[in-house]
Each structure stands twice: as structure tokens, then as C-alpha cells.
Structure 1
């Protein structure tokens, strides 16, 4: 039935659909507890809406691509409507809850299975071929990207890794920039494979079911073509981030390790306050 009704619904004017979704947001506010995000709202009928600062059509477009070309566990985009602030995205709700402190409850076998499931999803993400034309480091579709550990506003795109690194250093305290260039010289002179990256790896964006199995990956607004170490160093931000060995085991299993890149980024984090 939904295969018939959904195309009919989507054929209606976008302004009408948007008003209906906005009404569902108000109903959801009455039915469900606040989930901690100022941009994501739980709706009736097993749906979520996302809109607000830094929510763009590119996020819906990359999710649609991944849903069509991979078996990754991500929400399905039901509708995406351009609005003055960016985009109003309606998507399905995934089963499970944020990972948060669940890793510490897992047995060694559960932890290993969880890490392998997560790795399977990220392997698919990192295998997405990059378009041959356009900027090398960019958001989905070749536009700018969001990297919260560099700057609160969107940045780029960048034609080369060097352009990205120069920008990262330029955002640090002026009196420390020569020091940072020296620390980063070797790592930033080494070319890296550019892969499609999630860009915002932490325990609230990774879902787990009641059996401690991976059940979904959410929040794709930072997805971008970045150096292959990017998601792993993100998982360590700032300076250890989640702070327990189970998290480190999972992240190292999923991405491998990039100690030279992490050393440089940790030094950069000392002298840059993006917020």
C-alpha cells in the first residue's frame, strides 16, 4: 500500500507537504520526550524530521544514494523539501538507541561482533567512488562541508589536501601557526586516500539494539570526501574523547589507526576553538 500512497503523496505541492510535516512536528512534541537535538524531531508513524542550521539537501541526497547502492543500516529518506534555511528532511526511524555507555556492558564476544558489524557498514561507505570532476575535498555533490572540530561554519570545498591543511592551520592561534606547520610537516606532506567519511563519529550517532548489536548510523550532515584517517581521528576528538578502552577497540577495528595524523590533529586542537 505504501508503494502506491507515497508516490501520490509526493506528487502533491511541496508547500502542502511541508505544512503537514510541520503539524506532525507539533504532535510529536506532545507525544515524545525531547531527544536532545535542536534539529531532529520524532514524528508519529515511525518517522523523524530534521531541519535547521546546517541541514542541507546534500544530507538527504547522500542518504538516498547510500540506501540505493549499499546495505548500510541508515534511515530511509521519505521526503526532502528545500526551505530558506536549507532543507526539511523526513526519514524513517531506526530501531535501537544511542550507543552511549552500552559498550561497557558488552562481553568480549559482543564487542567484537559489534565492531565487525560497524566495520562492514563503514567499509561500504569508504568504497563509494568519488566523482572524477570537481573539488577533491568536499561535501556530497561537490559543495562545502561541515567539520565541527575546525570551524562552526561550513568550510571548503578544497582542491587539494594541502589547501585543507593550510586552512586548518590558519584557523589556529596566529602565534602558534609556525609551530603547527613544523609539527605537521611530515604528516601533511604524505598523500592520503580520499574516502567518503561520516564526519561526526560519536556514541549518539551510532545505534545499538537490545541484544547489543549494531542497528544504525544516523546524522549525515558532516558527510564529506576527506582523507582516510578523518573518521578515526574524529573518534578521538578531543584528546581521547569517549575515554574508555572499549570505544578505542571498536574504532581501531573499524578504521585502523593513523597515529601520525592523530598527533598532528591533537596539537591543532590545542590552539583552535571552533565554537
Structure 2
């Protein structure tokens, strides 16, 4: 980015709308892997982008691209995918009627119930393909993978102890080390939920933080 600033060469926008209902997004292999996996599941028809291609961004031009705060050297890609209709629900949610909110909640439940029914081949806590985990609430970098929920919980306890101290830690609920892992979006926020003018769900986007997490992960993130 230093080269771009001093040579006054503009950076490439992170998302570029293309012709024919397509868009290109500078992102990481984590999002490419997650969407490719979801697209590949037979009978799973969800309002998510369809992957068309993933192009590795060569090292010598990576400075032109913003691939997100968690991009790593080997994981920067230009993801070509279908675009979805609608706009992020954002602050408009505050203006919805009770009926609209209830309807949208039901539509979101259908999507996330579907992905939570996906079972991994093991009980690892990890990104798709065994990659490290991503959580914007937990860490500024990737973490893991973990061979079990118990080892993931132990890692979280160590992080919490350094911040809370042993006295406050003693008041926390008992760890659920035997929880099953399920596929999770990992970043369910109003900016990642697309709706039409009537407030109906049209898409769920930004799957970079998706992976195999304890089954309570998405509900806990939202709450």
C-alpha cells in the first residue's frame, strides 16, 4: 500500500460489480473454500453467491488489493461469483414492523438451520479444509485448528484468564467440552444479510469467517 500511496496509483475496490450478474471480490481462500463447499452440497439451496472462479493474486501486485484484515500472504484471491439482489438490511431493520421482523427471522432461521444440519467428518474446530479459524470477535488473526471442542475451549479459557483473572473466571458457566461441531457462518451481522424492499431475505454474504465450530457458535455470536 505504501507504493500505491506514493505513486498515486489507486487501489482496486474490494468488490467490483461486473456485467451479467457477476461480481469480483478481493478476499481469502477461507471465503472461497466456504462458498465452494456450500455450493457443492446436494440439495442445499441457499441464497448465497455461486462461485464461478477463484484467481490467485500474485505476490507482486497484492498491494493493490484489499483482501480484508485477516488476509495472509498465501491466501489472497480474487473471487469471481454471482451477485445477489437486495441491499444489506443495516439500520433499516429499526423501521420494520413486527410482522416484517418476524418474517425475516423465520427466513434466516431456515438458512441457518440448513447449514447447522451439515455434519463434519470429525469433530475438529476449524475452517473449511482444516484451515485455521476466523472470528472478528475472538482474534485479530486466525487461530487453530483444534482437534476437538475441548481443546478449543481450553484455548479460549487461557485467553479469558489473562483478561478476567481467576476470581471472575470462577463465576463463568461450566464448559461444554462435548458439544458437536456444525457448519457456521461466523459473522452474522446486518451488513451481511441482504433484503428486498419488502424486507424479505434475498441473500447471506461474506462467508470468510465460516467453518466448523461448536453448534452454539452462530446463536452466541448474534446474541
Could you list the runs of 5+ residues in structure 2 that have no partner in the other structure? 1-9, 60-72
Matched, 1:63 2:64: no
- State how many pairs are aligned: 195
Find the counterpart in structure 2 of residue 152 from structure 1: 140
2:117 aligned partner: 127
Listed as ranges, the gaps of 5+ residues in structure 1 are: 1-25, 30-37, 237-275
Partner residue of 2:215 out of 207, 228, 231:
228
Equivalents in 2 of 1:182, 1:41: separation in Å? 49
Q: Which has the higher helix share?
A: 1
Q: Which moved more, 1:115-124 or 1:162-171?
A: 162-171
Which of structure 1's runs of 4+ aligned residues deviate more than 4 A? none
Matches of residues 36-55 of structure 1 in structure 2 within 5 Å? 39-52=14-27, 55=28
User: Are 2:150 and 1:162 equivalent residues in the alignment?
Assistant: yes
> 1:109 aligned to 2:99?
yes
8 Å Cα contact 2:49-2:82 kept in structure 1: yes
Structure showing the higher strand proportion among its residues: 2
Higher relative contact order structure (alpha carbons within 8 Å, sequence separation ≥ 6): 2
CA deviation string 1:218-260 (max 9, x = no partner): 0001001111221112113xxxxxxxxxxxxxxxxxxxxxxxx
Q: So what's the TM-score if we normalise by structure 1? A: 0.64
**d(CA) in 2 for partners of 1:126 and 1:149?**
20
- Given the alignment, which residue of 162, 179, 189 partners 1:174? 162
Residue 185 of structure 1 and its aligned partner are, at CA, apart by 5.2
- TM-score, normalised to structure 2's length? 0.78
RMSD: 2.2
